[in-house]
Structure 1
Amino acid sequence: MFELSTPDWNSVAQTEITGKCQLLPSGEVLIQTNHGELTLSISEMGVRIQNEHQFTVNDYGILVNQPSVFAASITSSSTHTQIIAQNHSIEIQHRPFAFEWKKSGEIKQKTPNDGHFVRQFRLPPMAKTPQGWLFSIDLGAEEAVYGLGEKWSGLNKRGQLIRSYNHDALGVNAEISYKNTPFAWSPKGWGLFVHTPSPVTHAVGYAAWSQRGYSVLIEDQALDIFLLDGENGAQIIEQYTHLTGRSPVPPLWSLGLILSKAYYKDVPELLATAKAVRDNHLPCDVITLDGRAWQDTDTRFAFEWDPKRFDNPAAVIDALKEQNFKVCIWEYPLVSVQNKLFDEMARKGWLLKDKRTGEAYRYKWDTSAFAEVLTPLPESGIVDFTHPEAYQFWLTSHKPLFDLGVDMIKADFGEQVEDDNMLAHNGDSGNRLHNVYSLLYNRCVYEAAEKYSKTGPFLFSRSAWTGSQRFPSQWGGDPQADWGGLIGSIRGALSWGMSGAPFFATDVGGFYKDTRDSILFARWTQAAVFSAHIRLHGIGQREPWSYATDAENAANKAIKLRYQLMPYIYNTMKQSSKSGLPVMRAMALAFPDQRLAHSFELQFMFGDSLLVAPCTNPEGRVDVYLPQGNWTRFPNKQKYAGHQVLELTLELDEIAVFVPEHHSIPIGVNVENVEMLTVDYEHTDNLPHWPDHDINQ
């Protein structure tokens, strides 16, 4: 594993061009180097650089589209080569390799101009290292960089050292996270995407390497880099998601409240909770049976209901259906050695193998994470999704669950492929399999939902990699139940959205270290109303009536508003499905030309028409920047001029939401679940619209 430290750049083997560049019939340019053959191509997407290894390894279907290559011409001298294609030109220096890419005469990207006393460049423009390929591009003095997956700290990654490597992060308090992708972009009009399953380390203006450059270290022998071309973040995300795929529109019922906790211990508690939801008239569409709620922890996961608690699972599902609940159940891609399924799958070669023995690998959990709260998990095998038969078995094993009436799967974990001793059926292991395993897992479970669900496919996954945005939706796992957990969750949602993933949900109220903070719960609920999906979840109760009365009232008011906004949210999701834009849009994404707005990283646009500034402190204080133009407070219709910062103090049941002048919001009806709807939310022309129509809460 690459250590996040300062490498010795004097010792790396810089790439040099060793022969004449050749134009191929495909339009690509073949480049002979001391590190083998490279191809460079120019397309409507921008510039792509690949090596020969890229075509001989498992690519896992990360790309769903290939760019159309422009016809090019080349001119070479002994020291430089120029490539021209349409209005693009690339000037390449031979020794060491360096480049300058221009579009219509303007520089789009280039090798960092960070001179050094000992060598021409402080950062090698391109090099082979013991860990893999190094590639560097330039950063302007104040240039921001966004993306790189679900990250909890500042949205602008400038100055950060980030490793694209999925972790069971156990919270939102560090650099590690569950959902990563080696895709980043700048408001200056370029994006960088590394097409790889392998870990990538990003030194984004990281001063210990170079504050003037952005370097990626790709821990693979294969090289496939896209430099994307767009005027702003929205265009670059559109390019990236054209390459890696976009999400279908989730079913309407998934927009409703998802109720969960870790966990309902038995059937009486589950049914009592469902009854209380309806008795209290809480709008809610989904109730969740978490891992221990329906599985025997010692023998999971084998698609089996715990016989000690569920002698008749169908009756339980029917009882929930009678109350208009959709049902979500939990799974993970591991099989306990205590279950007979382990031996069966091991015999057929359907589990990852131990390189040393050739037998099924036995994964041992780090029990320090479980402490007093979570049950220690058994030694387990890991499903090998690279094995076609294992993949198909896992997919079809979902059929009895969907036949029973289950509506959605919460696909947990997927970060456990961490050992180079693990070997997959396709020959990959360790780092090359670790990240992409999440994509294979997401794809398998979503395809099962597509094939067998009676109410429309929908997936909740925690771990994700490039392309996982094609299988909606994802949630941010395990935040601490405090204000920092709320703030980290908002940043994680926005960062994931800036990385090409349109849909996200948080654990409302926080997952662990719950202190029953009623104000925090109310504010978290209000913030989550303005996310693609909303789920109340954590260790302990998350029903609003389990908190203080004023917090219960504030949360109920917010959730009712959520249901009235469903037609707006649903149509925003349709837009996201077409463009790749997230539902929650950070200010740098929503207002690319208003630089002052970019520094307000906790507020966001929710679709085109709602600016949301969540309250992230117990005092109710909110500072909200209104971009240029005129704005109306939602829903009370106060008027404000833009280009100013408002300092607000909110009552517990108040929200800070604003609408641009001349925008209107379609308003749905007050219902307690989507089964009660008699209105078509596919078309909003016949619905009442705010501000002409008052919100009735």
Structure 2
Amino acid sequence: MPPKSDLEHLTQIDTIEFLASKSTCADFSMEGGTLHLQVEAAAPGVYRLRCGPQGSLDPDKLSPRKRAHAEMLIARQEAVGELAVSSIAESARQGWRLEQGDTVLELQLSPFQFSVYRGGACLMSSRAGGTLAHGQAGGQALWQLCIDLDGDDALHGGGETGGELDRRGTRLVSDDPACRALPLVWSTKGWGLYVNTLARIEHDLDSERDDGYRIAVHDALLDAYLFVGEPSEILNQYTALTGRAGQPGLWPMGVWLDQAAGQSLADTLGAVREFRANEWGLDVVRLAPPAVCGFQSDKPAFEWDAARVPDPRAMFAAFQDLNVQVAAPFFPGVPSGTELFTEWEDRGWLLINDDGEAHVFPGTEVTGGKPFGLLDLTNKDVFKLWSERQRQLVDEGLGAPACDAQFDIPDGITARGGETGAVLRSIYPLLARQALFDAVAGHKTPQEGVICSTDLFPTAQRFAWQDGACGGNGWPAMERSLRTALSLGDSGVPVQTHALGSAKHPLDEMTPELYVRWLAMSVFSANFRFQGHPQLLPSAFDAQTRELVRHWLQWRYRLVPYVLGIIEDAVRSGLPVQRSMALCFPGDTLAQAWDTQYMLGPALLVAPVLKPGKEVQVYLPKGEAWWDLNTGWRYEGGTTWTVQADLDTLPIFGREGHMLCLGPTVQHSGEFNSARILDEVWMFGMPEHSPVVMRNKIRVMQMQGSSYIKGLEGLRILPSEGLEVKRRGAEVRISRAR
């Protein structure tokens, strides 16, 4: 948070006066008319609060740059809700009530405070006497918003963490790459908050233990969205507002292999052939850093690194013969000390420092240690050039680019559009990912494609692929990988892929048992990557472990139609592939304590084995019945069980009323029959919900105690015990066995 001396000089806002209201918004003046507050019904259950100097909220007065920034952050600009405004005139309080159905936002006087209600219950209140303050800090405008918390407020979202999913007690700075921050925070009590700006936001989530959530916003305007509803509905409204993911396509759902550092193409192809020979499924090879292709030293044309890829056509042909796609690393810059660097510096196509010269960034792994200048992607011509060069590589056969562009850009570095400091640090990875996505998917209908990146930034949820970091080779590293995926899902990002181990960490921690457990967890996730280091490949282990690898990879490909269906559903709902207990069961506080369990989509509860041994404790959330995939037994929810899990099993439970649709056993995505992507259906009790499944139209209807299902033609159906299946042409009837 800003220094206390800065906060002490802020002016607390105590007075508010009603001005006017329309069907979608209400306007108020604050502090004797010097400030303007507008409350808008952005959507059902969503309130937008905008506060700034009088006249500053008029969208027609925005500069072109501010308008462009607004369009980067918000996908739906118009309000789609309706407000009913009435006054509160009670002896204990006065103010105004802004209603949307059963959701109410109350603005109270003396002192100014707001509260949110749903169904008559108070979900959240700002701090009495300290709700809102504004002023200057370091010559810049600063706002502080304070929300009261109680013991029932578990705060989730806020970006990536490898620790507790409840973020209370942490501090986050939006433009600090080390914080791995994202802008949405929500409570299990049923409210969420998103501050809509590219400027610096500092979140103090009760770090001083004063039962308060303080947000400092370094911007001339305060623009915040309040969400009211279940966490799943908050993610739905948040992603509808800020944008949702495109489709990843089929082949990215297959297994990935990261090339080992320094490994030749011949050795990598040899590893792929070993996968094929052992019937280990594989679809993608990602080449290792440094970048294998970049701008020539004297012209803006891409060229391949001849030492690593002497013949690009031959490389693509060799991988295609093995039914493998290629991903490769790139960076949006040009090495310093080259003719092109000098030319683009003169042209103003690189980010510049206070002296007006192109800033030279120190070398990184992807640049091969060479210092470089960063392309100014705020310049439309530069953005287009960078995207078009990547598009040429895609046309040549590249499956996906890999690019981390969340550089720690120092203050004082400026883009052509005037962006600098926190705004530039926030906007740069956004522009880099968008340019690459345009190159890969912009010409397709619907847009399909993935960009490999670990970058986090506002609107990261618009891109359906997020790389998980390679964080180690021990049991704690496996748990961190899981927690980062669940925390990103809580923050609105639909997909995080896991890395199975890390060549950059001690390798002796990776035991056969851990390897298989990590693989099993990764199979029941959005996706994962093998590491190409010889000691981290399946071939490094004994025959029994290699057979278990084959077993779990067969499961992975059978799950592809279900997992891709979950991602397709994210386009409609904003829900992630791996879902935390807090996200799915906000009313079950005991379930939230079991925060390394997760839901894989709507149908499966997964309890990964995170320590040596076969014995695993599992909590089954209350209000549901659960079916053990390994035994077929049914359990009531609200119960805790100790289960035995050999290395070829994983504690997985099907949610009653749902179905799991599985594909055939294949070695790569090219073996899927697009006309028959499904092979088998598992039922967990009487079907009540249409299944999440890729590209198939399956509908469930209930009549007279039976379920009638259309869309299961030709599929094997495995009903739960006590049910019987009858086929009637294209329709399947599920009823109680007599």
Q: Is this contact kept in 2: 1:665–1:691, CA < 8 A?
A: no
For 1:537, the equivalent position in structure 2 comes to 531
Distance verdict in 2 for CA 1:125–1:689, change over 3 Å: farther
Measure how far apart 1:65 and its partner are. 0.7
| CA distance, structure 2, for counterparts of residue 423 and residue 544 of structure 1 | 47
| CA distance, structure 1, for counterparts of residue 106 and residue 39 of structure 2 | 12
For 1:522, the equivalent position in structure 2 comes to 516
**What root-mean-square deviation, in Å, do the aligned CA atoms of Structure 1 and Structure 2 show?**
3.1
Measure how far apart 1:129 and its partner are. 5.4
| 2:186 equivalent to 1:158 | no
For 1:70, the equivalent position in structure 2 comes to 82
Q: Secondary structure at the match of 1:507?
A: strand
| CA distance, structure 1, for counterparts of residue 627 and residue 173 of structure 2 | 41
Q: Relative contact order, CA 8 A, sep 6+: which one is greater? A: 1
Measure how far apart 1:285 and its partner are. 0.8
| CA distance, structure 1, for counterparts of residue 657 and residue 104 of structure 2 | 43
Q: Is this contact kept in 1: 2:25–2:39, CA < 8 A?
A: no
For 1:655, the equivalent position in structure 2 comes to 650
| CA distance, structure 2, for counterparts of residue 674 and residue 218 of structure 1 | 46
| CA distance, structure 1, for counterparts of residue 507 and residue 29 of structure 2 | 61
**Which range moved further: 651-660 or 320-329?**
651-660
Q: Is this contact kept in 2: 1:512–1:539, CA < 8 A?
A: no
TM-score (norm 2): 0.83
Measure how far apart 1:68 and its partner are. 2.4
Q: Is this contact kept in 2: 1:522–1:552, CA < 8 A?
A: no
Give the partner amino acid of 2:135.
Answer: K
Measure how far apart 1:128 and its partner are. 3.5
**Which range moved further: 82-91 or 520-529?**
82-91
Q: Is this contact kept in 2: 1:479–1:489, CA < 8 A?
A: yes
Unaligned 5+ residue runs, structure 1?
Answer: 114-119, 170-175
For 1:196, the equivalent position in structure 2 comes to 197
Measure how far apart 1:187 and its partner are. 2.0
For 1:359, the equivalent position in structure 2 comes to 357
Q: Is this contact kept in 2: 1:260–1:542, CA < 8 A?
A: no
Distance verdict in 2 for CA 1:670–1:643, change over 3 Å: same
Q: Is this contact kept in 2: 1:51–1:224, CA < 8 A?
A: yes
Q: Secondary structure at the match of 2:202?
A: strand
For 1:563, the equivalent position in structure 2 comes to 557
| 2:147 equivalent to 1:137 | yes
For 1:84, the equivalent position in structure 2 comes to 98
Measure how far apart 1:241 and its partner are. 0.6
| CA distance, structure 2, for counterparts of residue 474 and residue 570 of structure 1 | 15
Measure how far apart 1:191 and its partner are. 0.9
| The one of 686, 693, 716 aligned to 1:688 | 716
| 2:641 equivalent to 1:646 | yes
Measure how far apart 1:267 and its partner are. 2.2
| CA distance, structure 1, for counterparts of residue 134 and residue 558 of structure 2 | 55
For 1:450, the equivalent position in structure 2 comes to 441
Measure how far apart 1:376 and its partner are. 6.1
Unaligned 5+ residue runs, structure 2?
Answer: 679-694, 697-710, 722-738
| CA distance, structure 2, for counterparts of residue 531 and residue 227 of structure 1 | 31
For 1:244, the equivalent position in structure 2 comes to 242
For 1:582, the equivalent position in structure 2 comes to 576
Measure how far apart 1:513 and its partner are. 0.7
Q: Is this contact kept in 1: 2:24–2:41, CA < 8 A?
A: no
Give the partner amino acid of 1:658.
Answer: F
**Structure-to-structure mapping, 1:260-339, within 5 angstroms:** 260-263=258-261, 265-292=263-290, 294-295=292-293, 303-339=302-338
Measure how far apart 1:340 and its partner are. 4.1
Distance verdict in 2 for CA 1:252–1:166, change over 3 Å: farther
Q: Secondary structure at the match of 2:619?
A: strand
Q: Is this contact kept in 2: 1:23–1:74, CA < 8 A?
A: no
| CA distance, structure 1, for counterparts of residue 416 and residue 145 of structure 2 | 31
For 1:426, the equivalent position in structure 2 comes to 417
Q: Secondary structure at the match of 1:357?
A: coil
Q: Is this contact kept in 1: 2:18–2:27, CA < 8 A?
A: no
Measure how far apart 1:12 and its partner are. 2.9
Greater strand share, structure number: 2
| CA distance, structure 2, for counterparts of residue 71 and residue 229 of structure 1 | 14
Q: Secondary structure at the match of 1:655?
A: coil
Distance verdict in 2 for CA 1:340–1:476, change over 3 Å: farther
Deviations 1:415-463 (A, max 9, x none): 2143111101111101112123222111111111014689942222210
Measure how far apart 1:307 and its partner are. 1.2
Measure how far apart 1:190 and its partner are. 1.0
Q: Secondary structure at the match of 1:423?
A: coil
Give the partner amino acid of 1:164.
Answer: S
Distance verdict in 2 for CA 1:25–1:601, change over 3 Å: closer
TM-score (norm 1): 0.87
Deviations 1:64-114 (A, max 9, x none): 01332534546599x95424345455443456532233445443432135x
Distance verdict in 2 for CA 1:631–1:104, change over 3 Å: closer
For 1:17, the equivalent position in structure 2 comes to 15
Q: Secondary structure at the match of 2:452?
A: strand
| CA distance, structure 2, for counterparts of residue 573 and residue 480 of structure 1 | 27
| The one of 578, 599, 609 aligned to 1:615 | 609
| Number of positions where the alignment pairs a residue of Structure 1 with one of Structure 2 | 663
Identity of aligned residues (%): 27
